[in-house]
Amino acid sequence: MRFFLFALVIAACATSGSIVTTAHADEAKAKTSKTGKSADGSAKPYCAPELGELSHHVCYFDGGVPADGRKTLVVYLHGSLAMTPGFFYMQQRAMALHAKRHNFTVVMPTGPSDGVGYVWPTSQAAQKDQEAGVLASIAKARADVEAKVGHKFDETFVVGFSSGAYYGSSLAVRNMLDVDGYIVLAGGSSWVKPDPSAAAKAKRAPVFVGVSAADPQTANHSRSFAGALASMGWPFKVEERNAGHMVDWTFMAHGIAWLRSRSPASHGGGAVLVNVKATE
């Protein structure tokens, strides 16, 4: 899936002009030096300066809480990242803007390196070798951000984009994370099947699928993933927009609102609603 490596048009399409200008300046500087140093010779941090860093290659941003006071955590699974210093700032800054707009805290772990960039383990072989470490990193990030902001969260969602969408959809179907829902954008693994064990059937977190119709590389994968969820009777909603390979503003707004409406936090701690029709 190397074609995702340069998919960071997300920030150009999803951020304000001032943020994009800053991000483009950072990327330009990064292209002139692969030493990990900034222009003044100091070390270039992995996390964008306006974000916090919880641990090595794990960033976070606290966007506050909505009017109802619920505390939402989003775990963002990035698209493929080049290893060039500063290249990752574009996705980080875009997610910080989404966090501010929709009032959630976002934690951004980094996928394993394949020697060229940072990607998530989407193949069975990669999952066998890397998934235990990935899941442990996500669990630590969740605990660390709770300690940093000083409270636990009422609900936790996973947002996966591009490489993160393929991996996030796999995590959802295999029930690998204890979360309250998923947003899957510009990708999706329709070929993954649930674990037949009783534990895997215990929880089916709802999934919002955003189909980027203007992205020929992923649109049919997203549609197929939504079809697979329907065939399994999984609680999901699918929307299709003429969006490219990006984290679309409308997808995020609709996805966060939809998951919040089905979260245990909106039902007094009750069960997540199931059998949600795709046309809803």
Per-residue model confidence (pLDDT) at position 133: 95
pLDDT beneath 70: ranges in the chain: 1-43, 198-201, 267-280
Q: Hey, which residues does 155 pair with through a beta bridge?
A: 72
- Do the Cβ atoms of 241 and 215 come closer than 8 Å? no
What pLDDT does residue 276 have?
A: 39
| CA distances from residue 84 to 92, 117, 206 in whole angstroms, order as listed | 15, 8, 35
Q: What is the pLDDT of residue 24?
A: 36
The pLDDT value given to residue 86: 83
Q: What pLDDT is attached to residue 14?
A: 40
The CATH code of the domain at 2-267 is 3.40.50.1820
Q: What pLDDT is attached to residue 265?
A: 83
